[in-house]
Amino acid sequence: MTPEELLDAYEEMALIRRTEKAAHDLFMSGFVKGTTHLAAGHEAIAVGASAALRPDDYVFATYRGHHHAMARGATPEECLAELMSKATGLCQAKGGSMHLTKASTGMLGSYAIVGAHLPMAAGAAWSAKLRGSGQVAVAFFGDGATNIGAFHEALNLAAVWQLPALFVCENNLYMEYTPIADVTAVPNPAADRAGGYNIPGEVIDGNDVTVVHEAVSRAAERARKGDGPTLIEAQTYRHFGHSRSDPAKYRPAEEVERWLKHDPLDVARARLEAAGVPPETISERDRRAAQVVEAAVTAAKNAPEPDRELAFTDVWADGSATWRT
Amino acid sequence: MADVITYREAVAEGIAREMRRDSTVVCLGEDIGAAEGVFKTTVGLFAEFGPQRVWDTPISEQAIVGAAMGAAMTGMRPVAEIMFSDFLACCWDYLANEIPKARYMTGGQVTVPLVIRTANGGGLGFGAQHSQAVENWALTVPGLKIAAPSTPADVIGLMASAIRSDDPVVFFEHKALLASSGQRPPDGHLVELGKAAVAREGTDITVVALASTVSVALKAAEQLQGDGISVEVIDLRCLVPLDMRTVLSSVERTSHLLVVEENPYQGGWGGTVVSVVADEGFEMLDAPIKRVAGACVPLPFADALEAEVIPTVDKVTEAVRRLSAY
Ligand SMILES: Cc1ncc(C[n+]2csc(CCOP(=O)(O)OP(=O)(O)O)c2C)c(N)n1
Ligand SMILES: [Mg+2]
């Protein structure tokens, strides 16, 4: 990444970080109902990958997907409004935190059934191949998803059909409250499985946006050349608990401390400074991100509630929900 | 002071009571051990029974239920947790094709004494993939018994029967009821599978409910009493076996039937209940049968939208008023 690209990536990560912090505060103060799965700590994966993709590539994410929606162009306001059940939300308040989607930019959804979207990404890649469009499809998923059948079925299919698909595991060491290591037969839950499907698999530092950018660029190039899928295991850590108000007491204090010292924003800032970008320029981006998120919170709070009739729209392609004559 | 227990605690208590009396009862599921369950419905089990009886699994629903089946075929009584009932879809083969058919298609050679427990239902704003009431999914498959308790005492009593049953039981624990509380039943408390409860006696109309809709029906009944309408509320407690005797004998007295169900009207369990009444009790009725059910849409996220599509007290009172004015 050039220093300019890195600076933009830094700002995007700062924007996501602050949006997640705002989502957390809004949840704790009762403005956000239901649940949230925050991606604070995972920013570099979404931003680094997105910077390596073409605007028309496809992205599929999990319920922990705010960062992917934003990295593919959703605004903090659209996301927060969705979390706050407002009519201006990304999905008209019908999806919620776990289902952020921005189809217009190829962000084809956030899925709350673990593993469900890996075969979908394979399908989108298959479609790109059939249409000869040169697009790739990327599935982002957690370490926990590597033990569900859909992960294995998708990898094998993508491999035998040589699909332009990227499988990017965000390994944050935990499923909900159980360490992935306790229930997985191999040390690297994603990358160690790649051999079984005869595709390349690599473990990378998911908290270094330049490393993610590079790995995804390579994998995307390979996919576009027709050489098939790649599995990338990006190591990272979540800054909040699994969901809602989970205090994540099951994580050892020294582990948390070690990872918080390896914050993706700090890593990017250090790289920028090493490249000679003045600290003031970087802080300016921080300020801008803070302003955008602050304005987004206000706008989302002031946005209207969804019209009750929305409950009965869009089951069908004609916009209706009619199931009988 | 009465000994009170929450619905949530009753789940763990019900399992623990059976684990104490039968060493073949073992539990498996995601985050159920040291983490004591995402809904805290397995609190204390790991501490009391240890890792040989309480097993944390990977996120592998097919392996969870498939392994439970294999263990059940070979001398154990597994209690498998599927964290949210929506995820039953991930292991549906075992519920639709394997578990319910093993005994029948082997001419009775194989028995599958297992329980699949799962957190069911909406009202918590978890959106379309974590809020569904799916008892009706299981109801489409002959060979599965189905329990869906509405009170802590019934959780314990039905859990005991489910675990002791030589037949497979799908056990629905309603998420919106987890924090509710009630009397802690005495040791040895058993509720037979397939016995409905009359949750409130009444003379004018029979309202049949299950799990979350029992409290909705009871609240509606309370309000309607002020208008001089006497509502009998039947808590089915199980869908299979289906206690139609209790329903029919109530309708015989009230001549009016309303069913309140959380799952969508389309394919909902109420359709089965009313078809039996239409078949066998038509002459008893003084009014058409009505169902208040979920709308035929996926569950929307926003609270205000969710309330539009699931049964509420207002929808039930309105339906009862219309029926009694018929
Ligand atoms: C099929 C399925 N099983 C279980 C769950 C419940 N669940 C939601 S998130 C989660 C943990 C997932 O862990 P991981 O894949 O590592 O992702 P992370 O949350 O760490 O980002 C579980 C078990 C689910 N949503 N879907
Ligand atoms: Mg994880």
Q: Is B174 a known active-site residue? A: no
**CA dist., res. A235 & res. A207, Å (int):** 7
- The yes-or-no verdict on residue A187 having pLDDT over 90 is yes
- pTM here is 0.96
Considering only CA atoms, which of B9, B3, B44 is closest in space to residue B27? B44
Q: Which atom of ligand 1 lies closest to the CA of B129?
A: 25
> Which tokens go with A60?
């599929």
pLDDT given for residue B312 in this prediction: 97
For a substitution probing ligand 1, which of A114, A178, A246, A259 has the most ligand atoms within 8 Å of its CB? Answer: A114
What is the spatial distance between Cα B52 and Cα B24, in angstroms, rounded to a whole number?
A: 11
DSSP secondary structure, B135-179, as one string: HHHHHTSTT-EEE--SSHHHHHHHHHHHHH-SS-EEEEEEGGGTT
Q: What is the pLDDT of residue B2?
A: 64
- The secondary structure of chain A in percent helix, strand, coil, rounded to multiples of 5, reads 50, 10, 40
Nearest to B35 among A149, A178, A323 (CB): A178
Cβ contact B34–A311 (<8 Å): no
ipTM score above 0.85:
yes
Q: Which residue type sits at B13?
A: E
CB-based contact B129 A111, cutoff 8 Å:
yes
- The stretches of chain A forming alpha helices (DSSP H) are 3-28, 43-52, 66-71, 76-83, 117-131, 149-160, 209-224, 253-260, 264-274, 279-302
Compute the average pLDDT of residues A202-210. Answer: 98
Distance CA B313, CA B321 (A): 12
Per-residue pLDDT band for A126 (boundaries 50, 70, 90) equals: very high
pLDDT at residue B13, as a whole number: 98
Grouping H, G, I as helix, E, B as strand and the rest as coil, residue A293 is: helix
**Partner-chain contact B127 A99, CB within 8 Å:** yes
Which SS3 state, helix, strand or coil, does residue A169 take?
strand
Burial class (CB in 10 A: 0-12, 13-18, 19+), A9: buried
Q: How far apart are CA B261 and CA B241, in angstroms?
A: 17
Closest ligand 1 atom to A180 CA? 16
Q: Grade residue A119 by pLDDT with cuts at 50, 70 and 90.
A: very high
Q: What is the DSSP letter of B299?
A: P
Nearest listed ligand to the Cα of residue B64: 1
**Peptide bond between residue B241 and the one before it cis (omega within 30 degrees of 0):** yes
| Secondary structure class of A154 (helix, strand, coil) | helix
Delineate the domains of chain B, giving CATH numbers in brackets: 4-183 (3.40.50.970), 197-324 (3.40.50.920)
DSSP symbol at B95:
I
Nearby residues of A241 by Cβ (< 8 Å), 6 or more positions away: A247, A248
Q: Per-residue confidence at B207, pLDDT binned at 50, 70, 90?
A: very high
Ligand 1 within 6 A of CB of A120: no
Q: One-letter amino acid identity for A200?
A: P
pLDDT digit string, tens, across residues A207-243: 999 999 999 999 999 999 999 999 999 999 999 999 9
Q: What is the largest CA-CA distance in chain A?
A: 69
Region B218-235 average pLDDT: 98
pLDDT (mean) for B231-240: 98
Query: How far is it, in rounded angstroms, from Cα A135 to Cα A127?
Result: 9
| Phi, psi at B6, each rounded to 5° | -85, 160
Backbone angles phi, psi at B81, to 5 degrees: -105, 130
B1: pLDDT strictly greater than 80: no
pLDDT confidence band for B146 (50 / 70 / 90): very high
Which residue is it, tokens 């094998």? A156
Q: What is the mean pLDDT of residues A39-59?
A: 98
Q: How far is CA B284 from CA A267, B247, B249, B266, in A?
A: 76, 12, 10, 26
- Per-residue pLDDT reduced to its tens digit, A6-24: 999 999 999 999 999 999 9
Q: Which residue of A has its CA nearest to B309?
A: A311
* Contact criterion met (CB below 8 Å) for B267 and B273: no
What tokens does B189 get?
A: 């408390």
- Picking from A260, A324, A300, the residue whose alpha carbon sits closest to that of residue A82 is A300
Q: What is the pLDDT of residues B99-142, one digit of tens each?
A: 999 999 999 999 999 999 999 999 899 999 999 999 999 999 99
d(CA B237, CA A268): 57
For residues A35 and A99, the answer to whether their CB atoms sit within 8 Å is no
Beta-carbon contacts of A71 under 8 Å, excluding residues fewer than 6 positions away, are A12, A16, A46, A47, A49, A50
Q: To which residue do tokens 């991930």 refer?
A: B90
CA distance B276 to B111: 29
**Ligand 1 atom with least separation from CA of A146:** 15
Distance of alpha carbon A182 from alpha carbon B14, whole angstroms: 27
Contact at CB, B90 and A321, closer than 8 angstroms: no
The count of other CB atoms within 10 Å of the CB of residue A321 is 17
Pick the CATH number of A3-300 from 3.40.50.970, 3.20.20.30, 3.40.50.300, 3.10.105.10: 3.40.50.970
The residue ranges of every structural domain in chain A are: 3-300
For an interface test with A, the pick among B30, B41, B46, B59 (most A C-beta atoms closer than 10 Å) comes out as B59
Contact A59, A108 (CB under 8 A): yes
**Of residues A94, A148, A308, nearest to B59 (C-beta):** A148
Residue entry with tokens 């576009």: A224
Q: In this complex, how many residue pairs, one in chain A and one in chain B, have their CB atoms less than 8 Å apart?
A: 124
Average pLDDT over residues A265-278: 98
pLDDT in tens, B39-51: 999 999 999 999 9
- Alpha-carbon distance B136 to B98, whole Å? 18
Q: How far is the CA of B35 from the centre of ligand 1 (A)?
A: 14
% of residues, chain B, pLDDT over 90: 99
For A155-169, write each residue's pLDDT tens digit.
Answer: 999 999 999 999 999
Burial class (CB in 10 A: 0-12, 13-18, 19+), B101: middle
